[in-house]
Structure 1
Amino acid sequence: MLRLTSTAVVAVLAALTALGPLATDMYLPAMPAMAEALGTGPDQVQLTLSLYMAGFALAQLFCGPISDRFGRRPVMIAGFALFLVASLLCAFAPSIEWLLAGRFLQALGGAAGPVLGRAAVRDIYGPLEAGRVLSYMASTMALAPALAPVVGAGLLLFFGWESIFLLLALYAVVMLAVLAWLMPEPLPVERRQSIAPRAILANYRLLLGQRAFVGYTLTNAAAFAGMFAFLSGSSFVLIEFMGVAPTLYGMLFALIVGGFFAGTLLSGRYSRRLGHDRLIHLGTQMCALGGGTMAALALLGVFSPWAVIAPHMLFMVGFGIVMPQSMAGALAPNPQCAGAASSLFGFLQMTIAAVVGGLVGQFHDGTSHTMAIAIGLGGGLALVAYLGLVKSAPRAMSAAD
């Protein structure tokens, strides 16, 4: 077994948390090809992304509180086992209906990695160090969404879209082995919580009554919705509308992730010096500026890859700052129910993102308008949520520093 405070455990937690971006980003270049192969339209294929987020959100409500009672490790093992079976179902899906079912089951199992990875960081490092560790974890995790579309495009080119889900199944096998033989349990027995519905609901009521928790969560959710709008619509905008090749799309996506990587590095480096709130304020301003610029260019009829990629890089720098700091801010005052806090945080984040992704697919007009406007609104609302809820929250509750 690894030592809990070792760098290796942080790397394992990052790999577990990376399951989320891997399961969403790797098959993005294949979405147009999947629509053609399964005889369906872009809206149905985009629904696989929104349905994944909806299932992910639903699962988080349960896996966090369950892990507060039985520990993080056994719940993660069960989740990755379900993700493995669901990935195989996706790979061999004969129709879009089977693929949708497989994606929903993938989400139910895959939620355990990101949710309990965040909770484990809070278990191990406490409120002061959690923001810094989550930032550096996010920097490491940035490799996953940077490489995932490139890998997905290569697999699509040489082996077909089904091979993408087979690789995800292999990833689940590796993670199951690591969890079974190397990962120690981060939650001490004396901090276990009751699994009674009344106790779970009491924890959720406690969290929703904290203005700072709601503020940090909505700030993150709005920015995440802007990012998810790009995930949902970018392959159809860049590949179908603007004529970008799938391999070039993967490279452009890597630039986007480079922005996120830069943001997480800035977040980790200045976390102790500036604190949660100052960094989140800076990050939300970047999200609003980047998203607003993309929306303005689209409305002015500037339909070029650079008019999408350049503003979204700035948006992602901001999101790279906002994401770990808002997570740490939301979890910091709640060590007694870190699993429930991480669950509720993730549920609201993913639910809002799933709705936005579904709307982007439903109202896609063949141009970049819908996607760009959704990203602009996400950045603007993140800034509004921070200024209206977090900045004005009592300092004792906000746990900003």
Structure 2
Amino acid sequence: MNLLRQPKAVLAVAFACVIAFMGIGLVDPILKPIADSLGATPSQTSLLFTSYMAVMGLAMLITSAVSSRLGVKPTLLLGLAVIIAGAGLAGLSDSIRAIVGYRALWGLGNALFVATALAAIVSASSGSVRDAIIFYEAALGVGIAAGPLIGGVLGSISWRGPFFGVSVLMALAFLVTLLLLPNAAARPRPSSLRDPFRALRHPGLLGVALTALFYNFGFFTLLAYTPFPLDMSAQQVGLVFFGWGAMLAFASVFLAPRLQGGFGTIRSILIALTGFALVLAMMAIWTDHKPVLVAGVVVAGLFLGINNTLVTETVMKAAPVERGVASAAYSFVRFSGGAVAPWLAGYLGETFGDHVPYWVGTAAVMLGVLVLAASRRHLGHIDESHTIPAASAAPAQDGAAETRDTSMARAA
């Protein structure tokens, strides 16, 4: 598979995805400097992730309704514009409360962009659904890997640097999307705000969403809390999480398809989640040993990359609904875990010690393993094909999805 042999529409959205996902890791190296500069506690500083993820999760409920009315390109541009404003205003702020608030605005923009971008790439891709999702996850991995590195460099100058860096990079992504992404030739049928909730009635999609909720609990415990026990400079933390992001990107593109081919999709996800839980348990036992924390962060990237790719593909095929609706429903549930985990990890670390957040993260991920195992009977069709079949169970919605897919492919 040649990842670059894609229509220009896909390449434009993928480039914007790289920049968008830089925003997640870009902030990670400056969590402790922000806390030190503004006199904030770890739990207060972790609210930068909580407000971002909470608003992002809630906003996912409206993304399919908004994009089906405005169109894919205007929704992507609106999301990018909101991110530019949120990041820039956060960089200008002088209090932790203001930064937390502007991170919430940033989360709104990211919701509009991310959910729409995934559906756009899958729809306009020249390959199979699996290839499109691997391409999307590759963009995600590159962005997540580069974010901490750039954040560490800018953060060594000032904790405000990464926020302004996001605004500048997002402005570049805005221009690329504006100039290279064509307008769709036709509008899909407007979707309802109730559609994501209806989609969650499908047991397979609900099971995967709940699995991702618990998995994200462990993921954001790792991401938001580890900089505090590491107690390193912004550049050093950036390098550690660059290693994590590089492993995530490698596993997303190369390991996930191989594991899927050998063991099947659901079994591979269960293997990856169990491996991630074991890494968190190792970090819980040896929290006082920085080399173990560093190794744990980097190795976790392998399991997270496998899981991200395979879970995303499973969501696209778990229920007979439009891709944008499935993505919105799934993201709403999973980001709830990402919203609670950063604050809770900070609180548990302050109150009970640095070991406890990792033990709680381990338990959450293992709970996700149990939920997915219980949902396997509703996901037996996942490996039947690497394309999304036209589901006769929802002809009106699928007809709209087909119209959107065809129009975007022609526009590309």
Question: Contact 2:53–2:338 at 8 Å: present in 1 too?
Answer: yes
Q: Which ranges in structure 2 are unaligned for 5 or more consecutive residues?
A: 387-412
Match of 1:344 among 312, 329, 344: 329
Shift of the 327–400 alpha-carbon distance from structure 1 to 2, 3 Å rule, reads: farther
Partner in structure 1 of residue 190 of structure 2: 194
How far, CA to CA, are the matches of 1:394 and 1:297 in structure 2? 32
Is 1:164 aligned to residue 162 of structure 2?
Answer: yes
Is 1:214 aligned to residue 191 of structure 2?
Answer: no
Question: Contact 1:18–1:114 at 8 Å: present in 2 too?
Answer: no
How far, CA to CA, are the matches of 1:267 and 1:9 in structure 2? 26
More divergent stretch after superposition (72-81 vs 32-41): 32-41
Give the Å deviation of 1:183.
Answer: 0.5
Q: What is the SS of the residue equivalent to 2:165?
A: helix
Give the Å deviation of 1:279.
Answer: 3.4
Give the Å deviation of 1:19.
Answer: 4.7
Partner in structure 1 of residue 216 of structure 2: 224
The amino acid across from 1:131 in the alignment is R
Shift of the 339–294 alpha-carbon distance from structure 1 to 2, 3 Å rule, reads: closer
Give the Å deviation of 1:376.
Answer: 1.5
Partner in structure 2 of residue 134 of structure 1: 133
Give the Å deviation of 1:296.
Answer: 4.7
How far, CA to CA, are the matches of 1:66 and 1:388 in structure 2? 34
In the alignment of these two chains, the number of paired residues is 382
Question: Contact 2:18–2:143 at 8 Å: present in 1 too?
Answer: yes
Shift of the 370–184 alpha-carbon distance from structure 1 to 2, 3 Å rule, reads: farther
Determine what percentage of the aligned residue pairs are the same residue.
18
Is 1:238 aligned to residue 238 of structure 2?
Answer: no
More divergent stretch after superposition (314-323 vs 7-16): 7-16
How far, CA to CA, are the matches of 1:74 and 1:348 in structure 2? 25
Match of 1:329 among 303, 309, 314: 314
How far, CA to CA, are the matches of 1:290 and 1:332 in structure 2? 24
Partner in structure 1 of residue 370 of structure 2: 384
Give the Å deviation of 1:284.
Answer: 2.9
Give the Å deviation of 1:297.
Answer: 5.3
Give the Å deviation of 1:329.
Answer: 1.8
Question: Contact 2:26–2:151 at 8 Å: present in 1 too?
Answer: yes
The amino acid across from 1:163 in the alignment is G
Q: What is the SS of the residue equivalent to 1:178?
A: helix
Q: What is the SS of the residue equivalent to 1:303?
A: coil
Q: What is the SS of the residue equivalent to 2:237?
A: helix
Matches within 5 A, 1:1-400: 6-125=6-125, 129-158=128-157, 160-185=158-183, 189=186, 192-195=188-191, 199-201=192-194, 203-239=195-231, 244-267=232-255, 269-270=257-258, 273=261, 278-296=264-282, 298-299=284-285, 301=286, 303-332=288-317, 337-365=322-350, 367-389=353-375, 391-393=376-378, 395-396=380-381
Give the Å deviation of 1:93.
Answer: 0.6
The amino acid across from 1:287 in the alignment is L
Deviations 1:209-267 (A, max 9, x none): 2111112222333323221111110111211xxxx333222222122223212321235
Deviations 1:172-223 (A, max 9, x none): 211221222211245x626x1234xxx331x234311211111222233332
More divergent stretch after superposition (371-380 vs 170-179): 371-380
Give the Å deviation of 1:60.
Answer: 1.3
Question: Contact 2:121–2:132 at 8 Å: present in 1 too?
Answer: yes
The amino acid across from 1:386 in the alignment is L
Q: What is the SS of the residue equivalent to 2:301?
A: helix
Shift of the 15–217 alpha-carbon distance from structure 1 to 2, 3 Å rule, reads: farther
How far, CA to CA, are the matches of 1:107 and 1:19 in structure 2? 14
Question: Contact 1:356–1:374 at 8 Å: present in 2 too?
Answer: no
How far, CA to CA, are the matches of 1:213 and 1:27 in structure 2? 31
Q: Which ranges in structure 1 are unaligned for 5 or more consecutive residues?
A: none
More divergent stretch after superposition (325-334 vs 107-116): 325-334
TM-score by length of 2: 0.84
Q: CA RMSD in A?
A: 2.7
How far, CA to CA, are the matches of 2:284 and 2:5 in structure 1? 47
